[in-house]
Amino acid sequence: MFDKEAQSFLEELIITPSPTGYEWPGQKVWKEYISRYSDKVETGVYGSAMARLQINADLPTIMLEAHADEIGMVVQHISDNGFITLNKLGGSDSTIARGKRVYIHSKKGRVTGVVGNTAIHLQDSKNGGGKQPAWKDIFVDIGVSSKEEALEMIQVGDPVTFTDELDYLNDEIITGRALDNRIGGFAIAQVVKRLKKQKKDLKVNVIALNSVQEEVGGFGARMMSFRHMPHAALVTDVTHATDTPGINNKEHGSVKIGGGPTVQHGGANHPAVVDLIEQIAADKKIEIQHEATSIRTGTDTDSIFYQQTGIPSALISLPLRYMHSPVETVSLKDLDNLITLMAETVMAMKEDQEFVIEG
Ligand SMILES: [Zn+2]
């Protein structure tokens, strides 16, 4: 599905820890790769990374966007006997943390710790037995016995991630930490790579933006889209696959992995951009799924579409199971189709492309 070079880029990008606010290790990997397929790479003041395929300054510029950050944790407190309390960066789920290994990314290097799980034999109501823990109830053990010893290795404010990396459940299905949304950074890089090959037929300029700080409010996307004001934006992120046991489809919709990328309707999704995407999907025989938005898209699209006088935007998502856990799971077939859909949509844009709501 992907060539060897792309496959190893995917694997390296996913396993490189880049929690919200500390994205530079992953951004370095992304910029190094995309610089081979673009004309110019630049970095925003907070670390968002952008690559450009420039055809002609008079032509419209289309932005492809994904977010670079992953949820994580941060060292909040170190007790006198060297146990560490965490807080969350973004929407990390405290109920899955106990009994897992973590890496603390300190300036002095990577420190391994374990999230303590009081033995089932010793649990009682006083140490949280049987209860869903909050982050303040959880502690990390890095094998030291005092605060002083801990401070030789780490400090308050160091980012923390689970140690889980990437696994293939089979040729098509992969699972790992931070697929949300390192997989989107991979996708837009592949779109640029495909567009570069067809550059002579491209009628628009293209920028690919890998934004920081999505998980805490879409800040990187806001800064960079204000600065560059593209003519339109195609955003990609992961979306909830709802095809696993116990999910109420009436409430959360029906999206499955392996059923194709999803197109979202309503709100920040501009109807004319969505129409074009649906038309391309039909022409190219790419199976897609549909999602409705209620108040927000819950992605960087919310930060992009209303900048200045408005940027016609649309969200194309990759179905993902078990969001915000270390076993996020997606289909590479969906990923390939998403990349094709984004690339073909850009290829279909004209030199005088307008997105107008018919009234
Ligand atoms: Zn995301």
Question: Would you say residue 169 lies in a domain?
Answer: no
Range 338-351 average pLDDT: 98
Contact 88, 71 (CB under 8 A): yes
Which range marks the domain in which residue 47 is found? 4-70+177-347
The pLDDT assigned to 120 comes to: 85
The pLDDT assigned to 315 comes to: 98
Ligand 1 center–CA 67 separation, angstroms = 7
33-62 pLDDT, tens per residue?
999 999 999 999 999 999 999 999 999 999
Tally of domains in the chain: 2
The pLDDT assigned to 295 comes to: 85
Domain identity same for 262 and 191:
yes
What CATH number should be reported for the domain holding residue 142? 2.40.30.40
At 19, the pLDDT band (50, 70, 90 cuts) reads very high
The pLDDT assigned to 247 comes to: 94
What's the distance, Cα to Cα, between the start and end of the chain in Å?
42
What CATH number should be reported for the domain holding residue 235? 3.40.630.10
The pLDDT assigned to 122 comes to: 85
* Residue 172 a catalytic site member: no
The pLDDT assigned to 294 comes to: 83
Domain identity same for 65 and 90:
no
Domain identity same for 53 and 190:
yes
265-323 pLDDT, tens per residue?
999 999 999 999 999 999 999 999 999 998 899 999 999 999 999 999 999 999 999 99
Neighbours of 4 (CB within 10 A): 7
Ligand 1 center–CA 214 separation, angstroms = 7
Catalytic residue among 70, 214, 291, 328: 214
Determine the Cα–Cα distance for residues 359 and 353; give it in Å rounded to an integer. Answer: 18
Ligand 1 center–CA 228 separation, angstroms = 22
Question: Which of 297, 287, 294, 300 lies closest to 251, judged by CA?
Answer: 294
The pLDDT assigned to 121 comes to: 86
Domain identity same for 46 and 130:
no
Neighbours of 21 (CB within 10 A): 20
At 123, the pLDDT band (50, 70, 90 cuts) reads confident
Q: Which residues of 57-76 are buried (b: 16+ CB within 10 A; e: fewer)?
A: eebbbbbbbbbbbbbbbbbe
The pLDDT assigned to 126 comes to: 78
Domain identity same for 203 and 305:
yes
Ligand 1 center–CA 118 separation, angstroms = 32
- Checking if the pLDDT of 128 tops 80, the result is no
At 125, the pLDDT band (50, 70, 90 cuts) reads confident
- Checking if the pLDDT of 73 tops 90, the result is yes
**Domain end call among 117, 138, 162:** 162
Determine the Cα–Cα distance for residues 150 and 133; give it in Å rounded to an integer. Answer: 24
At 127, the pLDDT band (50, 70, 90 cuts) reads confident
Question: Would you say residue 157 lies in a domain?
Answer: yes
Interacting residues of 226 by C-beta distance below 8 A, sequence separation 6+: 307, 308
Rounded percentage of the chain residues whose pLDDT exceeds 70:
100
- Checking if the pLDDT of 257 tops 90, the result is yes
The pLDDT assigned to 118 comes to: 84
What's the chain's average pLDDT?
96
**Domain end call among 138, 162, 186:** 162
Ligand 1 center–CA 186 separation, angstroms = 13
Domain identity same for 181 and 66:
yes
- Checking if the pLDDT of 130 tops 80, the result is no
- Checking if the pLDDT of 359 tops 80, the result is no
The pLDDT assigned to 137 comes to: 92
Ligand 1 center–CA 131 separation, angstroms = 28
Ligand 1 center–CA 145 separation, angstroms = 38
At 202, the pLDDT band (50, 70, 90 cuts) reads very high
